[in-house]
Amino acid sequence: MPELPEVEVVRAGLERHVLGATITDVEVLHPRPVRRDVRGPAGFAAALAGRRIEAARRRGKYLWLPLDNGDALLGHLGMSGQLLVQPPEAPAERHLRVRLRLAGGEREVRFVDQRMFGGLSVSAGGAELPPEIAHIARDPLDPELDEDEVVRKVRRRISGIKRQLLDQNLVSGVGNIYADEALWRARIHGERPGDRLTARQVRELLGHARDVMTAALGEGGTSFDALYVNVNGESGYFDRSLHAYGREGEPCERCGTPVRRVAFMNRSSYFCPSCQPAPRRRRVVVPPAPD
Ligand SMILES: [Zn+2]
């Protein structure tokens, strides 16, 4: 699944390669990826033809291309989606779903998606910020993220800090892997309640999340231009640079204690039981029984 840094790589690549380009023609090869567009495949294509791409923006894992009429082409890569910029003569990818031809005939944008959880739609009036995604919080890589507000919100809640990090309405784009890595770096157990963390701890944790994601961005960024534009969701970062995630039973790089894995929301959490001690149970105060 493409993580946020990879989506940012795609955004930056689109910005480099299709800014100012006019869409001449749209071909929808499979209806499923445009299912969220109420106008259907033909209406989707008609809404894009003749429009100029003004920018490439991102909120969390959503991408959008503001168009010259105030609408936007909104996209999500889902589990297996790719947005490629290809020369028109490049052979069609096996799972090519949507093709956007651009004026000039030198390149086209292709939406390739095997499993089709992702998709594209035209957001009416969505150039500034598509209303469909306005509820999604900013992410740690976003310079406009209000960190003080995130810290305040975290410390007002009793739920575990990892659960909060994954809450897309609080801060977006921190996936399971980045959360585990940031918590390991910050030496905080994922079950620690938000209201038991200091402001400084939360701030440091957000900083670690940003560092981990920036590192992944750096590694993913190099593959983008090499393949003209290509992101396949596997930046290679995950094999080389992980300290906790996926390392069950391997020694913690700080203290040598074997990394543990526990079930977490249908996924797994990896942590060092020494560096990241589990929180004590909240003491429940039971009022004395009336006599
Ligand atoms: Zn350790």
pLDDT in tens, 146-195: 999 999 999 999 999 999 999 989 999 888 888 999 999 999 999 999 99
Give the pLDDT of residue 221. 42
Q: Distance, CA 180 to ligand 1 centroid (Å)?
A: 13
Q: How confident is the model at residue 219 (pLDDT cuts 50, 70, 90)?
A: low
Give the pLDDT of residue 232. 38
What digits encode the pLDDT tens for the residues 223-278?
333 333 344 334 444 555 789 998 999 999 999 999 999 999 889 999 999 999 99
CB 181 within 8 A of CB 174: no
Q: Distance, CA 153 to ligand 1 centroid (Å)?
A: 28
Residues with CB under 5 A from ligand 1 (ion): 252, 254-255, 257, 272, 274-275
The catalytic residues are: 2-3, 61, 267
Instruction: Find the distance separating the first CA and the last CA of the chain, reported in whole Å.
Output: 59
Query: How many alpha carbons lie under 13 Å from residue 86 in its C-beta half-sphere?
Result: 19
Give the pLDDT of residue 285. 65
pTM of the complete model: 0.77
Q: How far is CA 91 from CA 1, 86, 94, 96, 100, in A?
A: 24, 9, 9, 10, 15
pLDDT over threshold 50, residue 288:
yes
For residues 72-88, average pLDDT: 91
Q: Distance, CA 246 to ligand 1 centroid (Å)?
A: 15
CB 137 within 8 A of CB 165: no
For residues 81-87, average pLDDT: 89
In this structure, is the dihedral angle defined by the CA atoms of residues 117, 118, 119 and 123, taken in order, positive or negative?
positive
Round to whole Å and give the CA distance between 9 and 50: 26
What 8-state DSSP symbol labels residue 77?
-
Task: For the chain, give the mean pLDDT.
Answer: 88
Q: Distance, CA 157 to ligand 1 centroid (Å)?
A: 27
CB 33 within 8 A of CB 118: yes
Looking at this protein, which amino acid is placed at residue 270? Y
Round to whole Å and give the CA distance between 187 and 72: 42
Give the pLDDT of residue 41. 96
Give the pLDDT of residue 214. 85
Give the pLDDT of residue 220. 53
Q: Distance, CA 156 to ligand 1 centroid (Å)?
A: 28
pLDDT over threshold 80, residue 204:
yes
